Structure 1
Amino acid sequence: MVASLSKSRSSRSLPCVARSLLQLSSRGRLSEALDFLPRLSDTGIRLPTNTLAFLISRCTTLKQAKWIHLHLKLTGLKKPNTLLANHLIEAYFRCGSEFLGRKVFDEMASRNLYSWNNVLSGYAKLGRMRPARKLFDRMPERDIVSWNTMLIGYAKAGDCGEALRLYKEFLKLGMRPSKFSFAGLLTICVKLREVGLARQVHGQVLLLGYSLNIVLLSSIVDAYTKCGEMTDARRVFDEMEVKDVPAWTTLVSGYARSGDINRASEIFHEMPVKNPISWTAMIAGYVRNGLSNRALELFTKMMALRILPDQFTFSSCLCACATLADLKHGKQIHAHLIRTNFRANTIVVGSLVDMYSKCGNLSYAQLIFDRVNDKKEVILWNTMMSALSQHGLGKSAIEMLNSMIGSGVKPDRITFVVLLSACSHSGLVAEAVRLFESMARDHQVFPDQEHYACFIDLLGRAGLFHEVVHQLKKMPIKPDDRVLNSLLGVCKIHSNVALGEEVAEHLMKLQPSSSAAYVFLSSVYAALGRWDSVAKVKKLMNDRSVRKERAISWLESGDEVHSFTVSDVSHPMKEEIYAVLDHITGHVDEEDES
């Protein structure tokens, strides 16, 4: 029998023990605090309910939650009261054990609505929407929290159709949406890139009186930017009476994503307050728009201002170094990570592997990969396979697939894109055919447009034109621009003008602003001496404002990396550069004459 606080002599020490427990747990030293529990259990003393509830709420590991639960059982409380049971359910689900969380729920003598919502939320957060729905349908009563939990759960799990059906059912019952309901709907808008739905949600937000809710308005700005509607996003932003940092940052990211990097830069410099996420958004924007030099310059300024970078900052900067093949800056960033004992996540480690590989140092890339203890993330394996592929080691990349499977990591669609590309670059046709056929059969990864594009490119490079045609006929889906671009390359290799013209016409309809199809037709017609056709293609390009993509070259001089294109006049030292080029050209001409 549990000793009473007022009757047992042993319990006189309880207030002191309880204070020690609370002090340690409030300082984040919960494991040390729980070391006191065996002493209490041995004397049959149970902590007060509120203290236990507080300790359970602090649990971050399954071991801690089970330790407190054991203390309850050892002190005579095999079936916790409703308050403690609710806290245990939440802790078990939070620590990843839906089995133990559900077991506590099923054994409860008395459940309240909070108990049901607790299990519902646990399932939803783990992405387990099927058992969540079964529980939801069994609930004796539901409130707005129940509906929002399901709505947000379906939205985050990507089942947008079911989320919308649930929301319509919710409205039919005459229930009023809350700000959390709209948060779930805006998640759907972003996933579906559905601007019409975003406008409907925006209208309902205003109609129901949430026009001053900063968080919701920032989410609406985010939804519009991710749907590509920067005009609507800017209008909502301008109408906000109070603009928080996330709203400013969202606008910066939106303009950068849409290609308007100058506007993004203007907004960034107008920001009254910036946080590390704002800086990272601008750095990532520069990288995405091919301005890696400016990204690294901004990163240098960020570091000078002692603003702490996060995982995404380092990942973006390493990507900039990889793009520029700037090994010097890449090594500096790597050294900073080591010097500051920064705990790099898988994305940053993958970025380091990619950076060293693209800077020509495959041995360093391999060394970093090998030193990772826990290789459970498929993205890390994909990055290393890609590095091997870039260096022409297609067979090594394929061998790594076997090592990955042996480590218990399942390949995904990107894995096979990387491997098919590796086979293409290394001329491994037979291996590519085996990989392509094994995707669905052995790994349940069904070929999509990108896989077909890689496979057709490989077959075309190998001269297997009839096999290309065969694979196109077998495709279960209609070829998109990626497949057609690969086919266009095949036509160029085999000088198949008739098919090339047909493919180019399809591409111009799908991608009227892309130069690939126009350049192909122009070069083919020029080779055939059909100059009237060349003129027509060039006129069509001018009418549609299509510009041939220029290749960019980089030159490292001192501490700076300079980028330039053919006939570039944007460099600040262009006069001196062209003067030196003219001087060199003159010397070359004199040498030729002599």
Structure 2
Amino acid sequence: MKEFHRMPQRDAASWGTVLAGCAKAGSWKQAVGLFDRMRAEGFRPDDMTLAAALSCCAHLGALEKGREVHEYITQSRPRPNVFLCTGLVDLYAKCGRVDVARQVFDSCPARNVFTWNALIVGLAMHGHGTVALEYFNRMLLLEGVRPDGVTFLGVLIGCSHAGLVDMAKRIFSEMEGRHGVPRELKHYGCMADLLGRAGLIEEAMEMVNKMPTEGDTYVWGGILAGCRMHGNVEAAEVAARHLLELNPQDSGVYSVLAGIYADAARWEDVARVRKLMDQRIARRNVGCSSITADH
């Protein structure tokens, strides 16, 4: 950035390069500020710059600023390319305006898997699981677009929010064999959450035991949450043990396990877990000290 500001002359390409770099580094507010300055100084952003600006607005939830970028695209790009279309769908989906995201999606002259993913994940995250499934089927059957891991994550999240357990299990089982998409921990975590919510704790545990890798916090966290909802003490103890092996200082795990014991009227276990939490958290805090020196 210092080198950029020292440049005696700047063109649209240099503005776009720096803006895209800020976006990639997660400096979204800075990137949006650069976009405004760029336009104020009379430079015309190219497609890469516009796509980066849309991505930053989406991450910030800056809907109004995103609408400004959309308006500029509408005026300057009669037929926006697939990258801009994807950025617009992602913007409105992330900001909760899934109705506008669908309108933009349906009007896109070209779409790729990323465009489909932006809409499907957005619908799923905002509770429109059934509609997400409709677009997923349309993607496969009508458009012939090959899904990827993100597609399936969105579909599974949608099934979880809509309570479509059997549908999720069928889609999960077809990922590798039918579609050639490997299952990742994030997919197992989503299934653990879904099965846990449905009270299918034993089925979730069986799935985890068959996983090719060790479960992470999302997988075991999903099972623990299901145990909390349905009062499964035995599975909760297993899930909590794995979670505490991953992070012994996670106070939330102790609290959830204590709550499960309390619901089962196992008061001695409640006291034991709380004592263990106090010991481990206190031990961590003892290791952190501050010294004030007089000068």
Unpaired segments of 5 or more residues in structure 1?
Answer: 1-267, 510-514, 546-594
- Residue deviations 1:235-291 (CA, integer Å, cap 9, x gap): xxxxxxxxxxxxxxxxxxxxxxxxxxxxxxxxx23543362212321244344xxxx
TM-score w.r.t. the length of structure 1 is: 0.41
Local SS of the residue matching 2:110: coil
Local SS of the residue matching 2:156: helix
- Does residue 518 of structure 1 match 2:256? no
Unpaired segments of 5 or more residues in structure 2?
Answer: 263-269, 289-295
Q: Which residue in 2 is equivalent to 1:400? A: 135
Q: Give the alignment partner of residue 462 of structure 1, picking from 198, 201, 211.
A: 198
Write the distance in 2 (CA, Å) between the matches of 1:382 and 1:466: 31
Write the distance in 2 (CA, Å) between the matches of 1:353 and 1:413: 19
TM-score w.r.t. the length of structure 2 is: 0.78
Write the distance in 2 (CA, Å) between the matches of 1:298 and 1:402: 40
1:479, distance to aligned residue in structure 2 (A): 2.4
Write the distance in 1 (CA, Å) between the matches of 2:287 and 2:54: 36
Q: Contact 2:79/2:109 (CA < 8 Å) preserved in 1? A: no
Write the distance in 1 (CA, Å) between the matches of 2:184 and 2:87: 26
Write the distance in 2 (CA, Å) between the matches of 1:360 and 1:414: 19
Q: Which residue in 2 is equivalent to 1:333? A: 69
- How many residue pairs align between the two structures? 267
Q: Which residue in 2 is equivalent to 1:498? A: 237
Q: Which residue in 1 is equivalent to 2:277? A: 534
Change (3 A) 1:416 1:539: same
1:492, distance to aligned residue in structure 2 (A): 4.1
* 1:281 alignment partner AA: G
1:315, distance to aligned residue in structure 2 (A): 3.0
Q: Which residue in 1 is equivalent to 2:223? A: 487
- Does residue 447 of structure 1 match 2:186? no
Write the distance in 2 (CA, Å) between the matches of 1:396 and 1:544: 51
Local SS of the residue matching 1:443: coil
- Write out aligned runs for 1:555-566 (5 A): none
Q: Which residue in 2 is equivalent to 1:321? A: 57
Q: Contact 2:201/2:223 (CA < 8 Å) preserved in 1? A: no
1:452, distance to aligned residue in structure 2 (A): 0.9
Q: Contact 2:55/2:91 (CA < 8 Å) preserved in 1? A: yes
- Write out aligned runs for 1:466-477 (5 A): 466-477=202-213
| C-alpha RMSD of matched pairs (Å) | 2.8
Write the distance in 1 (CA, Å) between the matches of 2:78 and 2:246: 46
Q: Contact 1:488/1:503 (CA < 8 Å) preserved in 2? A: no
Change (3 A) 1:328 1:532: same
Q: Contact 1:321/1:355 (CA < 8 Å) preserved in 2? A: yes
Which gives a bigger RCO, structure 1 or 2 (Cα 8 Å, sep 6+)? 2
Change (3 A) 1:466 1:523: closer
* 2:21 alignment partner AA: A
Write the distance in 1 (CA, Å) between the matches of 2:283 and 2:239: 18
Q: Percent identity, aligned pairs only?
A: 31
* 2:222 alignment partner AA: S
Change (3 A) 1:399 1:534: same
1:404, distance to aligned residue in structure 2 (A): 1.1
Larger Rg: 1
- Residue deviations 1:519-540 (CA, integer Å, cap 9, x gap): 3224544873454323223225
Q: Contact 2:113/2:145 (CA < 8 Å) preserved in 1? A: yes
Write the distance in 2 (CA, Å) between the matches of 1:538 and 1:366: 47
